[in-house]
Structure 1
Amino acid sequence: MYAITWDVFASKGFETAWSEVGDSLLRARGRAVGTLPEPYWISYELETAEDFVTRRLRVTAETGAGTRTLDLRHDGHGRWTANGEPLPAVGGALDCDLGLCPLTNTMPVLRHRLHRAPGEREFLMAWVSVPDLAVRPSRQTYTHLGPGRVRFTSGDFRSDLAFDEEGYVVDYPSLATRLTTP
């Protein structure tokens, strides 16, 4: 199990994730605290099925307005639910992307070895905004730039990310940088 902490400057906060990778599966739990867009605490648990495809993301967000929870599930056939309600807008997506969370960039990168091998892949993600936990579709493209370097684009946003050998974000300009080594 790896313990990784990031300085998440996009939220003026920090995140720590405890993660296990093995046999094309990922399991993680994490906690984050931030002050942007408003002060919040986040706790999450993530589990994938084979080939690093998201199976479930459970998130609790606490703000001054109260506590919200999200139980985001993928059935393995492209269908998603949020707290038991169908989410047809993200149908066909393989992964979740928890906003302001560098850990969730790991799944598509590992699945296609984009931190190690040439290639470019476009994905539809079930993107979860923080701290309101709304789920929206997000088109994202990951492009291998060289060993440990991957370009991330979504709409007009673009950033060149650095990954370690295990597929975890080391540096995500404009979002976060890792403080600890697994």
Structure 2
Amino acid sequence: MTTSHVLTWAVSESDGYETAWIEVDDTSLRARGRVVGTVPEPYWITYELDTTEDFVTRRLRATSEMASRTVELDLRRTQDGRWTVNGEPAPDLGSALDCDLGLSPLTNTMPVLRHALHRVPGEQDFLMAWIRVPDLTVQPNRQTYTHLGANRVRYASGTYRADLTLDADGLVVTYPGLAQRR
């Protein structure tokens, strides 16, 4: 069964907001969103995210507009696990299953849902295709997600840690220091 959501987060780290139209079923997620931020410079981003079964990223298309330029990103993962960035092979993303749009609480959802970490005990390590905002450059990033209790998951990358609160559908409600759902 597919559930639809329209969610907005106040994003404190960028002094901005994100609104996303999200459709989630038992195995996949689709979303369209807009992000507005003022830090490190004023920008707005529009994106479309599509996953395959098991919440694995298929494609993220994004456009970032800043005062001095506009940047576009077409990030794709093929069925055989190969990534491309704007049509160019990205072998450094290797075994990554997910994209992670910087400063976006939405993209924390896929690994949580794949392993039901908001519901059941466990810890999972991931290689992510992390997208820096606002310039939309892509780089590999190691992340760990750990179940802390019902609808609570710890996110960690390097020395950074944040204990996320999620709703029953696995969507972020509170990401301390980054975002709060409105």
Q: Which of 101, 104, 107 is the matching residue for 2:107?
A: 104
Deviations 1:27-80 (A, max 9, x none): 000001000111000000000000000000000000011110000000022210
AA aligned to 2:57 is: T
What displacement does 1:104 show? 0.2
Q: Distance in 2 between matches of 1:123 and 1:105?
A: 11
List per-residue Cα deviations over 1:73-116 (Å, max 9, x = no partner). 00022210011001111111000000011000000000000000
Rounded to whole Å, the distance in 2 between the matches of 1:177 and 1:133 is 23
Larger RCO of the pair (alpha carbons < 8 Å, separation 6+): 1
CA contact (8 A) 1:93 1:123 kept: yes
1:176 equivalent to 2:165? Answer: no
1:97 aligned counterpart, secondary structure: strand
CA distance, structure 2, for counterparts of residue 46 and residue 86 of structure 1? 19
Question: RMSD between aligned alpha carbons?
Answer: 0.6
Is the counterpart of residue 80 in structure 1 residue 100 in structure 2? no
* Aligned counterparts, 1:7-156, within 5 A: 7-156=10-159
Equivalences, count: 179
Q: What amino acid does structure 2 have at the position aligned with 1:78?
A: G
**3-state secondary structure, aligned to 1:107:** helix
Q: TM-score, normalised by structure 1?
A: 0.97
In the aligned structure 1, how far is the partner of 2:152 from the partner of 2:26?
Answer: 23
Structure 1 consecutive aligned stretches of length 4 or more whose deviation exceeds 3 Å: none
Gaps (5+ residues) in structure 1?
A: none
Query: Partners in 2 of 1:76 and 1:167 — Cα distance?
Result: 24
Out of 28-37 and 73-82, give the one that drifted further.
Answer: 73-82
Question: What is the DSSP-based 3-state SS (H/G/I as helix, E as strand, rest coil) of the residue aligned with 1:10?
Answer: helix
Gaps spanning 5+ residues in structure 2: where? none
Percentage of identical aligned residues: 66
Given the two structures, how large is their TM-score scaled by the length of structure 2? 0.97
Q: What secondary structure, in the 3-state scheme, does the structure 2 residue paired with 1:110 have?
A: helix
